[in-house]
Amino acid sequence: MATHPHGTLFSPYTLGALELKNRIVMAPMTRSRALVDGNVPNPLAITYYTQRASAGLLITEATQVSPQGVGYIRTPGIHSPEQVEGWKKVTEAVHAVGGRIYAQLWHVGRMSHPDFHDGALPVAPSAVGVDVDVFTYKGKTRTVTPRALELGELPGIVEQFRAGARNALAAGFDGVELHGSNGYLLDQFLRDSSNRRTDAYGGSIENRARLPLEVARAVAEVWGAPRVGYRLSPQNFPYGGMSDSTPVETFTYMARELNALGLGYLHVTEAVSGKSFPSAEQRITPKLRAAFRGTLIANGGYDAASGEAAIARGEADLVSYGVPFIANPDLPERYREQAPLASADFATFYGGEAQGYTDYPARR
């Protein structure tokens, strides 16, 4: 591919103190294969991430910072010693083959069910439910209306993320990404469809952004801001019941404030429905790029050509890929050689063991 002043997908890139071998990022993807006992990372995850370590950066599947943050079966946590030990084996294996890996820190908020919490209600900024199915160990069931967090509980949410950040440091990660997208707790606070609070954490954009920014500040205190990323989804799946009355203003404000904190990167994912993605002209990402002067990772329906084009335009520094990485552990090499891509089997995306997880072959 032609060279360009902004680089190409295959150019090295300096992310803070980290040297990345290319601009291709493996996006965080829930695969629901943690061990049932304790939500400890499955030993198979060592193989899974190592197979994909030719990416410039790997971002782990969403990883809950506390038992309160659980909303799905077999998702790994980073709040117990056993979980930290499980992740340590993953990071050591990835580093041994020259890879870089960040942990994505997560709290699902209302996207949960009492089955995960000994009968207690899930928590959220407001008692506003979302009508979707969730899978618990008892099977598929409908969500319930969550409990609004009390004002005095919010410092505890910040501390959950701070503790998760400390544990990620102990587990040997290269950095952390805050999951502020896709309808989970931090996203629920930011958007006015889910945040109906009337105190200092609701109402105005500044108030709705307060808790997410307090979390970002706390995690930056643990890691140093350059090693912390934040994921936003200004246009995303209708899943999660998320919307905002002024998305450009809301997300531009958030990007500007994250920039002021000196965070290492902003990871922007855009999808307007479960299967369609906005055109280059429809994307909000360029507006966020103008507000955030650090590294920007673009996500949402990119292939090699459109990812290259986003970098060439200066719209993004890095591009993250999700589903293509599931079936193509050697995705950077395939993109470089313009080789055919294998297709992923949706039936094995979630749950199970090796099938559809670690058994997709590299080309050679």
For 114, the token pair is 């009492």
Told to judge if 72 belongs to the known catalytic residues of this protein, a careful annotator would answer no
For 359, the token pair is 């058994």
3-class secondary structure, 349: coil
Q: Which of 184, 230, 302, 360 is catalytic?
A: 184
Tell me the C-alpha distance between 344 and 324, whole Å.
7
Length of the chain: 364
The separation between CA 167 and the C-alpha centre of its own chain, rounded to angstroms, equals 17
3-class secondary structure, 134: strand
- Which residue bears the tokens 């990620």? 168
Tell me the C-alpha distance between 26 and 239, whole Å.
22
CA contacts within 13 A on the Cβ side of 253: 15
3-class secondary structure, 80: coil
Q: Angle, nearest 10°, between helix axes 44-51 and 81-96?
A: 30
The answer for residues whose C-beta is within 8 angstroms of residue 253's C-beta and 6 or more apart is 205, 206, 209
Q: What are phi and psi of 99, to 5 degrees?
A: -90, 165
The separation between CA 20 and the C-alpha centre of its own chain, rounded to angstroms, equals 19
Instruction: Using alpha carbons, list the distances in angstroms from residue 123 to 68, 129, 277.
Output: 8, 10, 30
Beta bridge partners of 295: 265
Within 10 A of 44 (CB to CB), how many other CB atoms are there? 16
- Please name the helix (run of DSSP H) or strand (run of DSSP E) that holds residue 356, with its range, or none: none
Tell me the C-alpha distance between 30 and 44, whole Å.
14
Catalytic residues: 184
